[in-house]
Amino acid sequence: MKKKWVTMGAVFGIGAVMLTASGLSAMASTSGYEAYKSAVKNVHSAASMTTGGTITVTDNGRTVLSADLTAKINHDRDAMSAAVTVGDGSEEHTMNMYRQDGQIILDDGKSGVYKRIETGGEHWKKDGGQHVGPPAHAERIIDALMGSLKDLATVEATADGGKLASLHLSGSQIPAVANAVGSLFVSNMSNGEHGAHWGGEAAQNPMHPNWTANWPKLTDQISVEQIELDADINPSNYLERQEAEIVITGKDESGASHEVVITVDVDLSGFNETVPDAIDLTGKQVETIRNEENGPPWAH
């Protein structure tokens, strides 16, 4: 009789030891997700940085959209400069934007007229000039919603002493929400009214060229096949480069298969030592826009 209780107690004890060991080992294991998060937080804490970004969209290997962005941001000086080049595979177009002395200056690169938008300076300093990352509760909610998906992220040491964090998802690994949003995005960009809408706007507004003219018109079997996220983290634990590749497949009306690849490549550099470019408007044609209610979309 006594033996029975000893056996039961022993099994219970082994279970407890096993739980402690696996729990501790799970907590100690280096996760790609945590490595990435800490590098992103460091980027948010930097007072200034240079961001170089490229977005490329290809359809069966043919480029249908490319956009280059270089942005120099300095939170301490409340200044920023950005240059954007957008091309649809046949034409390219460059725009510049500056934020200096409490105003935004836009240069569409075509008309030679500089647009000036007064922002009143304070608008940009919503959090008292302290630039911080997403609030802690948002981070917890994202963590909890990610669930075990977090564990699919890997991390490996690189030759320069930094880290490479990756999250590669394909097929059934892709959450249904991501599949639905990605598929809707591509079909929206390439179909019906939205395409026409973009085109119509482009006619009047040189800031919005017709991006989507060369996109394939997908109508059938649209699905997100692959999502690959890679992040280079430098030895001082700053995020240096981030690459996202999304592969979406589908068929057009004639039944031809298309593989649309959206690549976003972002380089970050010049942490705490970036000085944004400034523009001298003396002697230039300037149009001042005063639009209190409808400020630029990024000012909200």
Partner 1 sequence: MLMHSLKANWLNEMEKLWVQRRTKGFLLLTLLIPAAAAAAMALLQRSAGFGLELGGDVPMLMLGLFTTLFLPLFLMMTAVDLFTGEAAARTLKLALVRPITRAKLFASKVLALAAYIAVHLAAVWLTSVAAGLLLNGPGMLGRLAGSALAYAVAFAPMFAIGLIAVLIAQRFTSSAGALGLMIFVFAAAKLLPYVLPEAAVWSVFSHTDWHTLWVGDGASAGKRLNTFFILVSYSMMAYMGSLMMFERKPF
- Binding residues for partner 1, per CB under 8 A? 4-5, 8-9, 11-12, 14-16, 18-19, 21-23, 25-27, 29, 140-141, 143-144, 147-149, 151-152, 154, 168-173, 176, 179-180, 183-184, 187, 191-192, 218-223, 250-251
CB of 57 to partner 1, least distance (A): 18
CB of 225 to partner 1, least distance (A): 10
CB of 169 to partner 1, least distance (A): 7
CB of 258 to partner 1, least distance (A): 12
Q: What are phi and psi of 70, to 5 degrees?
A: -125, 125
Nearer to partner 1, 125 or 140 (CB): 140
Return d(Cα 28, Cα 18) in angstroms, integer.
Answer: 15
CB of 214 to partner 1, least distance (A): 18
Nearer to partner 1, 79 or 261 (CB): 261
Q: Which residues pair with 286 in a beta bridge?
A: 114
Nearer to partner 1, 103 or 154 (CB): 154
Return d(Cα 129, Cα 136) in angstroms, integer.
Answer: 18
Q: What is the DSSP letter of 164?
A: E
Nearer to partner 1, 123 or 140 (CB): 140
Instruction: Tell me how far the alpha carbon of residue 274 is from its chain's centroid.
Output: 21
CB of 3 to partner 1, least distance (A): 12
Nearer to partner 1, 22 or 272 (CB): 22
Nearer to partner 1, 173 or 236 (CB): 173
**Run of H or E including 268:** strand 257-269
Coil vs helix vs strand at 128: coil
283 burial via Cβ count (<10 Å: 0-12, 13-18, 19+): exposed
Count other C-beta atoms under 10 Å from residue 264's C-beta: 16
Count other C-beta atoms under 10 Å from residue 41's C-beta: 16
Return d(Cα 297, Cα 229) in angstroms, integer.
Answer: 27
